[in-house]
Structures are given as structure tokens and as C-alpha cells.
Structure 1
Amino acid sequence: MRPSRGAGTYFRRLLVITYLFLLIIWPVSLVVQKTFDGGLGNLQTALSDPVVTGALQLTVIVALWAVAINTIFGVGISLLLVRYDFPGRGVLSALIDLPLSVSPVVVGLALLLAYGGTNGTFGPALESAGLQVAFATPGIIMATAFVSLPLVIREIVPVLQEIGTEQEQAARSLGAGPAQTFRRITLPSIKWALIYGVVLSLARALGEFGAVKIVSGNVALQTQTATLVVEQKYQDFEQGSAYATSFLLALIAVAALVVVTFLRPKDDTDGD
């Protein structure tokens, strides 16, 4: 029997909706409104600007690389945390949440100190080998992967804990190897958690600003991502292009979330 819905329940719902409206829906809707003020002019101007299109292309490349890296390592680390008992597991779990608690600017600075040019710890050795990390695409990918690392792991770990190990042990007892067990038992069980983690990681990667700004050098047509273009265009009083670029970034992220939400079976649970 469901409890009756009193005035307090409706008040709490109204409070939550108002909070979300003022914090998310209304500000984002203003960006959309400003983008389409006067029609499609702002979008056409942005998409005809080589600085904007180059930044969008670099952002997509970086985001895809970061998501691929986080997907591979995220699944591996999740299995390590849940399926194995080893000294320091709690420390590893805490370190995974570090990107969520440390400022992205600190992340970018740390990467510079480690891999940057003549002042970085590994910078001279990398440059002598013909590899440039800081102020280049690899550094941007590393920064983006760092800040979005926990998203895949924190989606998969609870599901692995919920499904347990009975099915995997049964598969092994029937002669299945580790790869076959993962492909036929584990992966189908964590499928939707993995997909949702990937989508969240993609959205986070597309919107990264602080770490990327420090480690990239913010050079137009070379290391400038879309979020950096938004800042530059806004400061240069080219607000139309800034609004349009922001709209495109938000559109990609929201579209990915909506597609996953609608594709996911309504009666599907991650543990099934």
C-alpha cells in the first residue's frame, strides 16, 4: 500500500523542480535562445570560422581518445577492485575519485610539471625521443582522460558487486577461459552500466576546460579546443560564435544521454 501524497510531498517536488530550473534548465535555455537570436546566423558564422571548426574537430578527436582509454582501463580497474582482494585496494579506490575532488587546473599544472618541455620531469627525455606531450594533442588527451576517469568505473563497480561471481564461476567450471567468460557472462551483465559510463565520460570530455587550458597552451588552430574557443570568442566580443559553439557542445552531450535513455529497455536492470 502506497503512502498518501500530502502537501509536503508536492512542496518538496516543487522545490526540487524550481532548484533544477534555476540552476540548469533556465541558464541553458538562455544559451539556446542567444544562439538562435535572429535565426541561424550565429551557427552559420561559427561553422564558417576555421578557428571554431578546427577546435570542434580537435575536441571530438580528444574526447574519443579519452573515452576509449577510460573504457579499457575503467573496465579493467573495476574488475580489479571488485573481483580481487589485494593490499592497497582501498587506497586505489580512493585515488580513482581524486579527479572529482582536485581542481582541473591543478591537474593541468601537474601534467606540465611531469611532461612539459625542458622543465618537466620526463619532458626532455620525451622530446629527445621525438614525442611532445605538453602543448600538443597527447597532453590534451591525458588531461581529458584524467578528469573523466572515475565516471566509467563508478558506473560499473556497483553492478559487478550486485551480480556476484556465481555465473562466472559456473562458466569457468564448464571449461570457459577468462576471455570467454568475460565476453559471454561479465560483459552482457555490465553492458548498460558501461554504456552509460561511456556517455557520461564523453560528455565530461567534451566540456573539459581548466586542465586542457593549462596543458594545451591554447594555440588557435593547433591546440585550442571548443571550450577554449568559447572563452576566447566571448572575451573578443564575438558572443554569437561563443553561444553557437556552446550550444553545439551541449547538443552533442544531451543527445548522447537522450539516445541511451530511450534505447535502454524499460524493464532492463544492470544486474540482469
Structure 2
Amino acid sequence: MSGKPASYRPHLAVCAIARDEEEDMPGFLENVSHIADEIIVVDDGSQDETVRIVEAFGPHCRVVHRSMHPEDGFAGQRNAAIEAATADWLLHMDIDERVTPELGLEILRVTANTELNAFRYRRLNYFLQRPFRAGGWQRWNKPQLARRGAHTFVNPIHEECEIEGGSGKTGQIEGEMLHFVDRDYLERARKNLAYSQRMADDILASGRRVGLRGVLLVPFWRAFKAYGPDRAWRYGLRGLIFSVYVFCGTFNWYATAWDRQNRRPRTELEDEIRQRWLEDTK
């Protein structure tokens, strides 16, 4: 493929997971085609044109059909891509991420001749379609470029890549990955609501009882931290919107968990009204 330096040796697979990504998929495929010898998309039952777009892009693209399992979640989807890949190195991305030319050339350079098993790289995250180096997002720096056979993913939510040899076998890339995240605020809110069920599962699995601290104090602290110590204030009104979103999003997680801990089954309510009718008609 064009753009590869003469020293290039190992093949690179770009791996991603998807569900109903027809809007972002064309841009993703075009972007990664500059560096990828192989593109693998693990699809979680898309109902739109996602699969057709990938399959039509070229013979070096492969779709792995796999429903997300509750027990392994996003890590399971990532590991399915690892199993399907044949390239020497794997770059794990989201469909809304983009490789800059500088990052792409650096990836090809560092993987060409190294004893390391992985490389960390940073993200430049976007919030409301603009770069956002605040709110905690600026600290993302993870090894999602790794040698095939020397890494695996863990955690069903917020999956992490475990590298054979750990930090001693992990290098650092200087270039940044662009992460567009959401098209608008409504998409961000919808994603949070979708994640709330899984986050509530994690909260309840820890054995904690959810009370005032979880429903109010934890969201308030996370919003304060995002706005103050993590410097969202530098972005004016957009930073304030982000911090309020952090409060609302965290509240959704704990409110969902509280509801599960204290939920009354609908049958109990039906029995109550049935009993009232019986008593009033005696």
C-alpha cells in the first residue's frame, strides 16, 4: 500500500468493534487504509449498512459477526478481533478515531524493528466537535498498538489491554490519535444512558449499598474535579457543559443502581391495587 517507508517489514492490522456505525464507517475505512494491510471489524448485530460498507471496501477488510456477551463485554469483542487477525501488529481503534499522517508514519516506523511488544499512544479527544484537553480525558495514554500473540483485553466495560512483559515491554509513541467521540450532545447523553446499565452492574457487583453518597456526593465530586483540578474551566461554557454532563452521567449510573437495589416488582403493585378493590367491594 502507498505511504509505507522502505524499512517497513511487519504487517499491520487495524481492529475495531462496531454496531450501527454507517455514518462514521466510510471515514474510518478511508483513514486507516493508509497504513493497514488488514482491517478487521467485529460487528455486534448492526441493523444499518455497517456490514455492507465494510465488505464492499476491499478484500483486505473482514467482518467478524459476534454478539456482545454480558460477561466479557467490550473486552470480548476486542479479543475476537485478535483471534481473527493474521498481521504481525494490531492497532485497536474505535470507529470514531482517526490516525493523523504523523501518527501513522510513526506507527509504521516503531513497529519495523523492535523487541517491544506494545506501544502506548495518547488521544486528542473532541467534545462537541472541538479539541478538549481537560476533564480527565487528557490523561488517556494506553497501549492499544501491540504485537499479535502478546496481548489480550480484560474488563467488560472500559476494557484494558494487558501486554505480555508489562511496562518493560511497552514503549511510548509521541503522536496523538484523534478521537471525535460524539456528533452532538444528544449522542453523548444517549451513550451515557446505554452505559448506565453496565455501570450499575459494576456498582452492585462491588457489594456497595447505594445511598445519598452515591446518588449525590459522588456525581458532585466528579463534576467538581472535572471543572476545577482537571481544568475544564479553561474551555468556557463548553467546559461547564462538560462538567454538568459528568454530574448527570454519574448520577444516571448510581440512580440506576439504587433503583435495582430498591425496585418493587410490578406484580407487587398489581397485587396492591387488586387488594384495594377486594376490600372496597366487600
Q: TM-score, normalised by structure 1?
A: 0.22
> Could you say which structure has the higher helix fraction?
1
> Could you say which structure has the higher strand fraction?
2
Looking at both structures, which has the greater relative contact order when contacts are Cα pairs under 8 Å and sequence separation is at least 6?
A: 1
Q: TM-score, normalised by structure 2?
A: 0.22
